[in-house]
Amino acid sequence: MGEFVRVEADPDHPAVAVIRLDRPRMNALNSRVQREIAEAAARVGADRSVAAAVVYGGERVFAAGADIKEMADMGYADMAAHSRTLQDCFTAVARIPKPVIAAITGYALGGGCELALCADFRVAADNAKLGQPEIQLGIIPGAGGTQRLPRLIGPARAKDLIYTGRHVDAAEALRIGLVDAVVPAEEVYRTAVSMAARYAGGPAAALRAAKQAIDAGLEVDLDTGLEIERLQFSALFATEDQKTGMRSFVEHGPGRAEFSGR
């Protein structure tokens, strides 16, 4: 349990872990918060009782960005060292080997938007604002925005957001693929948890393999990606869930298997 980031089980869906940011007032992502995010991601990834995770900043705001006061006086040498930690903490979330949903309320700007990009899916409040305003500070995104954003919404749209630093509302974010669902603000958390709960009782090894194959495949050429898929696919034939799933299909038809997660 960190000072500003904690991991909680949702009371209605105990297989869903909630990575809760809680640094008043705007969840500014200072060095302490960054380290605690990485620690929370490692905990969620290692906990076999967790099927999926939700990243949530509370009812008012997801995260309004990095702590500018902390960074303002840094020089090149300082940031050259710090930027590695900054990227690593977000990458830890992206590499959680389970489905991850970002529940976005209020602002998800700068580092907050970059954190949301690390999730597999994003649910936004209808009054949410997202963006990468770093250019207005004379810098560029440094926690994955220049890499994850164009992979998600395409290079031209990503360049528009990064070059201008403008905020997009929830409707535009949905239209360009930056978020996957828009719901009333009071429904964001429960919608994200319900999405995550769909994976409870699922074949954990197969879900992990699917995520790793897709994410790794996006970084390489098609032939290499197909080889990644082949190896992940073949490895699943060493799991109990593969035997259970195929036996259940043969004997009872599709969709009735009860998986052990092994």
The answer to whether residue 82 scores a pLDDT higher than 90 is: no
Mean pLDDT of 125-149: 96
pLDDT per residue as tens digits for the range 190-211 = 999 999 999 999 999 999 999 9
The label of the residue with tokens 């991991």 reads 7
The residues near 243 (Cβ < 8 Å, ≥ 6 apart) are none
Fold of the domain spanning 5-197: 2-enoyl-CoA Hydratase; Chain A, domain 1 (3.90.226)
- Confidence band, pLDDT 50/70/90 cuts, at residue 159: very high
Structure tokens that stand for 202 in this block: 């699922």
- Is the sign of the CA dihedral 227, 98, 191, 28 positive or negative? negative
pLDDT per residue as tens digits for the range 234-261 = 999 999 999 999 999 999 999 889 999 8
Which residues sit opposite 53 in a β-bridge? 17, 100
Q: How many Cβ atoms are within 10 Å of 200's Cβ, its own excluded?
A: 15
How high is the pLDDT of residue 207? 97
3-state secondary structure of 11: coil
Mean pLDDT, the chain, as a whole number?
95
How high is the pLDDT of residue 65? 86
Q: Is 187 a catalytic residue?
A: no
* Set 59, 70, 134, 227: catalytic member: 134
Query: Are 103 and 54 a contacting pair, CB within 8 Å?
Result: yes
- Domain 204-252 sits in CATH at 1.10.12.10
The answer to whether residue 97 scores a pLDDT higher than 90 is: yes
How high is the pLDDT of residue 197? 97
The residues near 4 (Cβ < 8 Å, ≥ 6 apart) are 21, 22, 23, 27, 32, 33, 36
Residue ranges, CATH 1.10.12.10, the chain: 204-252
Mean pLDDT of 26-48: 95
- Confidence band, pLDDT 50/70/90 cuts, at residue 171: very high
Share of the chain above pLDDT 90, in %: 88
Mean pLDDT of 15-28: 95
How high is the pLDDT of residue 22? 95
3-state secondary structure of 22: coil
Q: Is 114 a catalytic residue?
A: yes
- Confidence band, pLDDT 50/70/90 cuts, at residue 34: very high
Query: Are 144 and 114 a contacting pair, CB within 8 Å?
Result: yes
* Set 36, 39, 70, 114: catalytic member: 114
pLDDT per residue as tens digits for the range 3-20 = 999 999 999 999 999 999
Which residues sit opposite 107 in a β-bridge? 129
The label of the residue with tokens 């990503």 reads 158
- Confidence band, pLDDT 50/70/90 cuts, at residue 48: very high
DSSP assignment string, 108-149: EETHHHHHHHTSSEEEEETT-EEE-GGGGGT----SSHHHHH
3-state secondary structure of 86: helix
Mean pLDDT of 208-221: 97
Query: Are 176 and 166 a contacting pair, CB within 8 Å?
Result: no
Residue ranges, CATH 3.90.226.10, the chain: 5-197
User: Which of 66-80, 88-102, 168-182 has the least mean pLDDT?
Assistant: 66-80
The answer to whether residue 146 scores a pLDDT higher than 80 is: yes
The residues near 7 (Cβ < 8 Å, ≥ 6 apart) are 1, 17, 18, 19, 20, 40, 43, 44
Is pTM beyond 0.85 here? Answer: yes
- Confidence band, pLDDT 50/70/90 cuts, at residue 151: very high
| Run of H or E residues at 209 | helix 204-217
Residue type, 50: V
The answer to whether residue 1 scores a pLDDT higher than 80 is: no
